[in-house]
């Protein structure tokens, strides 16, 4: 079992180049997580986790991240990715991710509604909500990425 993360950061980035995987790599670099080994996780923010703006994680570290991403090779297409975290008073939080062919504002609205629904399902009071979203107009092969990095 891995230790429970004590910190979290919201990140986002975009990339655009010849290949989808390279565009994804560029988006990760733009988000500040491109030199980490990301472990995709689901939707729970650990209790008492502290929000930290600047990531300080050594390259190559296995790093849990809840994220949404989208890639497209349709020139001119608008793509977006977003994450949101619902915060409770004294227990865990809930993370939701969304990506789609839409604007940043639409992606952020959708993911925030998903958080509200998750709290309703859990019968938890929602006391705070934070989100991060990004959009990109595809030039060649584009990618949008938004994530919640959980770290120690």
Question: Does 22 qualify as catalytic in the annotation?
Answer: no
Catalytic residue among 35, 37, 113, 117: 37
Q: What element of type H or E holds 46?
A: none
Strand partners, 93: 45
Catalytic residue among 42, 50, 53, 89: 42
Is residue 83 within 8 A of residue 131, CB to CB? The reply is: yes
Greatest Cα-to-Cα distance within the chain, rounded to the nearest angstrom: 46
Catalytic residue among 43, 88, 106, 109: 43
Question: Does 37 qualify as catalytic in the annotation?
Answer: yes
Catalytic residue among 9, 82, 97, 131: 97
Position of tokens 């090779």? 73
Question: Does 43 qualify as catalytic in the annotation?
Answer: yes
Instruction: Name the residue among 139, 134, 129, 137 with its Cα closest to residue 99.
Output: 134
Active site residue ranges:
37, 42-43, 97
């Amino acid at each position: 079992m891995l230790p429970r993360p004590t910190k979290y950061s919201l990140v986002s980035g975009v990339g655009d180049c010849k290949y989808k995987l390279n565009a994804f790599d560029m988006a990760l670099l733009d988000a500040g997580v491109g030199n980490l080994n990301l472990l995709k996780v689901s939707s729970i923010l650990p209790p008492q986790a502290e929000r930290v703006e600047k990531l300080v994680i050594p390259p190559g570290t296995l790093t849990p991240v809840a994220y949404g991403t989208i890639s497209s090779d349709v020139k001119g297409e608008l793509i977006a990715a977003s994450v949101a975290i619902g915060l409770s008073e004294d227990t865990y939080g809930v993370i939701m991710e969304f990506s789609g062919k839409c604007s940043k504002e639409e992606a952020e609205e959708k993911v925030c509604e998903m958080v509200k629904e998750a709290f309703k399902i859990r019968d938890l009071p929602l006391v705070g909500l934070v989100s991060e979203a990004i959009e990109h107009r595809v030039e060649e092969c584009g990618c949008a990425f938004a994530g919640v990095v959980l770290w120690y």
